Each structure stands twice: as C-alpha cells, then as structure tokens.
Structure 1
Amino acid sequence: MTSASRGYAPAQYSLAVLYDEGRGLPQTDTEAKRWYLPAAAQDHPKAAFNLGLFYENGQGVAKDHGATLTWFMKAAELGHAGAIYNVGVVFDQGKGVKQDLGKAFEWYVRAAEKGHVSAEHNLGFIYENGEAPGGQDNIKSRGYYLRAARRGHAKTQFSVGLLYDTGKGFDQDSRKALRLYLKSAEQDHAPAQFNVGFVYEHCEGWSGI
C-alpha cells in the first residue's frame, strides 16, 4: 500500500483491483473506487476503464451514463481496446446519448483493429444487415465473422453456423453449420444448444460429424 499512497499509479490500480475483487482484502466498491480514481487521473487506462464499468453498472456509485462515457472515452484515448469497443456500444444503443450508428461503426472499427473480438462480431452483423456506411457487404461481413469465430467467440460461431445452414453469404454446408453450433454450444450459448438438439432430434443420419 506504501507505493499506492505515494502516488504510483500501477500500485494504486493493483490495490483497487484487490478491493474490487476481494482478493486478500475485504471486497469493497468504495475503496476500489478510491484507488481507481488517482490511478485513472494519472492516465492508467485500465483504471479509467474500470471506473466506466462502475458507473455503467451502478457499482458503489449511482448509475451515470455521462460519467460512464467520460471514463470510457478517457480509457479509449489511452488505447484500451475494451473501452474503445464500449464507446461504440454507447453510441450503438444510445445509452445517455443520441443513438448514432455511424459513430458506433467508427468505434467498432477502431476496436477491431486492436483485435477486440466482440467488435469484429458486431462489424460482421453491421455489414450483413446493410447498416455500414457503404451498405451491405457480404464479403466484409464474412471476413469479420470468420475472424471472430476462429477466435472462439460463441455468438459469432452460432451466427456463422446459421449462415452455413441457410447458405446466406456462404456456400450451404450443414456439416460446417453443425460443427460451429457445437463449438458455440460448448460455451453455453443457448440458441446453439437448441439448434444442436434440433438437428440430432429431427435430422436423420446425424449421429455424429
């Protein structure tokens, strides 16, 4: 705690995490916030991001969309991929701001460039449904979806499975669809579990892959 008290941002952040998660110290949101704040003030990106989560979830503070965006923006400016993605979500869903799909798209692109898998999934969805600035683009949609699916993103594995199942944007391939459903289902994705059950119950010859 000495380094944290002396103003060393990494130590302040680490101490905040211990209070936040109750690891070796009593779990207390108040103390966690107390130590996240000075670390974030010294441009510690993870501390700023976690403060955004505190205000988003009402964790130890009243929910505050404005404060949420302020801290996410600060962390995003410091290069935190999760914060960049979450700023996109704020504009995508209109959380405390006017909904702006164009801005959401721009932030998702920035997050995807940093390898954020949920941003890749969202961009795949946006291109698939014609919500990107240039309209529908199945090639770009497929590219983003495949990147996220290969990295184990359960929701994307299910989405790509559906595309193989229906032949939308992909050559129809029921076996590839089922493989992806299974991978998604193994991560407890409920729609994928339903589809796997449906295939085995109603489709003859599907004893395995």
Structure 2
Amino acid sequence: MYKMGMIQLKGLLGLPKNPGEAVGWLKRAAQAADAENPHALHELGLLYEAPQGDSSIIRDEGYSFSLFQQAADLGYKFSQFRLGCAFEYGLFNCPIDARQSIMWYSRAAAQEEHQSELALSGWYLTGSDGVLQQSDAEAYLWARKAGMAGLAKAEYAMGYFTEVGIGSPANLEDAKRWYWRAAAQNFPKARERLEDLKKGGGKANLKARERISRSKVGKQNEGECSVM
C-alpha cells in the first residue's frame, strides 16, 4: 500500500502524478504502521503540511503534526527531526520548547540523521538555560560528524568553526578545505566566503556564531526540513 501510494505521489512507472489517489493508499498504509513501516505516516505528514497546490488535499498542520508524532514515536528518524524543528522554531503551532527540541534531535542523531546532528551543534553553540550547557567543543564535534557525512551546511559550519577557532584551534587552510567541500555541493555561502578569502577578505564575523548552524527552516524534501 505504501509503495502504491508513492508510485501515485511521485508519478513513477510511467504513471502520472496523482496526489489525491496517493493519499488513499498512504492512509491505508498508515493504519498498519509499526516500527518497521512508519514511512506512510511521515509522507502523509508532508502532504498535509504542504499540499503543493493539489486541491484534493487541504493543508492541516494539526493533522500533519500528529502524523509526524506517531512516526517519531515509532522511531522514524526523519519525523523525529521534524519534531525537533517544530519545538525549536514553534512550527505547527507548537510552543518553543528547548528541552523537547533537543530530545527529539538527540533521538534522531542517535540514528545518524545528519541534519539533527547539525541542529544539536547549534544548540551546543548557544546553550539553553537550565536545559543544555553551552559547549564549543560539543558544537564542533556534532558539526564535524554531520560534515563528514557530506551535509553541505555542516561542511560550511566546519569551515567557519575552523576559521575562527570554535572548538578547535583556528586553521585557515583547513577552513578553506571545508568551504571547498560545501561549495562543491553548490552551497552559496561557502562560495561567497571562498571569494572573500581569495580577495583578501577579513576574518569571519564572530557575531555569526548562532546563525551558522541554527537558522530558519526552509522547504522540506525527502523527509528532512532543510536548514538554510
């Protein structure tokens, strides 16, 4: 049922895209969801979060959140990341709650969900009173883990950390290597920083600490809310 829903949703096997028909299949699959098969819950959550102009699907953030919650409770790391975002930024009409955000990011990061690793880096970079002690060392380690996995924004963050000396000694040549890795994935800020350095630009702005690995959540693809 889940596979049929995704075929209809994505227009696979030569079939036209049919989100309305896909919803029916995905809902049937979601009713049978378990720890081995949580995917339909998550895909439905994405559809009701952002229907993408399909008139047969009405945006419903409350329903979307409940679907992500169910999938997250079943251990699905991408839904756990969505909940981390929700409680960090107040999405889906959720209250901003650092403790809940960090908990869900931690659960997803334990399954090597790389955007969650970077999100934890952001939390450690700033800390949260009464919840998480600020730690440049932990911020560096979590960003490095995500960067080593090839997450472009994490590679850029590592370039910044290494350039200004957050969590490790400052090393401009190492920083450039990280920026190059991110730029190779068309990460605009990495390209801009390399151009600045090529022109003899000054040291990166230390005031940008918080923005480096914690910033506005953008459009989501493949179960992950992208962090711009």
TM-score normalised by the shorter chain: which range applies?
Answer: 0.7 to 0.9
User: C-alpha separation between the residues in 2 aligned to 1:72 and 1:89?
Assistant: 11
3-state secondary structure, aligned to 1:202: coil
Which residue does the alignment assign to 2:195? 197
Aligned to 1:138: 136
1:55 and 1:65 in contact (8 A); partners too: yes
Alignment of 1:70-85 (within 5 A): 70-85=66-81
- 1:164 aligned partner: 162
Quick check: 1:33 aligned with 2:55? no
Q: Tell me the TM-score normalized by structure 1.
A: 0.88
- Quote how far apart the aligned CAs of 1:144 are: 0.8
1:53 counterpart = 2:42: no
Give distance in 1, aligned partners of 2:32 and 2:104. Answer: 24
For residues 57-101 of structure 1, the C-alpha deviation after alignment (integer angstroms, 9 at most, x for no partner) is: 124422221111110011112221101111111111111111112
Greater CA radius of gyration, 1 or 2? 1
Write the mapping of 1:1-209 to structure 2, written as runs, cut at 5 A: 12-24=1-13, 25-43=15-33, 44-59=37-52, 60=54, 61-95=57-91, 96-131=93-128, 133-202=131-200
TM-fit CA distance, 1:138: 1.8
The whole-number CA distance in structure 1 between the counterparts of 2:159 and 2:46 is 32
Q: Using CA pairs below 8 Å that are at least 6 residues apart, which structure has the higher relative contact order?
A: 2
Displacement after TM superposition at 1:163 (Å):
1.1
What is the rounded CA distance, in whole Å, between the counterparts of 1:74 and 1:105 in structure 2?
18
Task: Give 1 or 2: higher helix fraction.
Answer: 1
Q: Which consecutive aligned stretches of 4+ in structure 1 deviate over 4 angstroms post-superposition? A: none
Give the percent of matched residue pairs that are identical in Structure 1 and Structure 2: 27
Distance (whole Å) between structure 2 residues aligned to residue 65 and residue 23 of structure 1: 27
User: What corresponds to 1:9 in structure 2?
Assistant: none
CA RMSD in angstroms, aligned pairs only? 1.3
User: Does the residue aligned with 1:149 lie in a helix, a strand or coil?
Assistant: helix
The gaps in structure 1 that reach 5 residues or longer are 1-11, 204-209
Alpha-carbon deviation of 1:114? 0.8
Q: Which residue of 1 aligns with 2:211?
A: none
Measure, in 2, the Cα distance between the counterparts of 1:129 and 1:148. 18
**For the residues of structure 2 that align with 1:87 and 1:108, how far apart are their CA atoms?**
8
**Separation in structure 2 between the aligned mates of residue 134 and residue 192 of structure 1, nearest angstrom:** 29
Residue 218 of structure 2: aligned partner? none
In terms of mean alpha carbon deviation, does 104-113 or 134-143 score higher? 134-143
Q: Distance in 2 between matches of 1:134 and 1:107?
A: 14
Whether the 8 Å CA contact 2:140–2:166 is kept in 1: the answer is no
Q: How many residues align?
A: 192
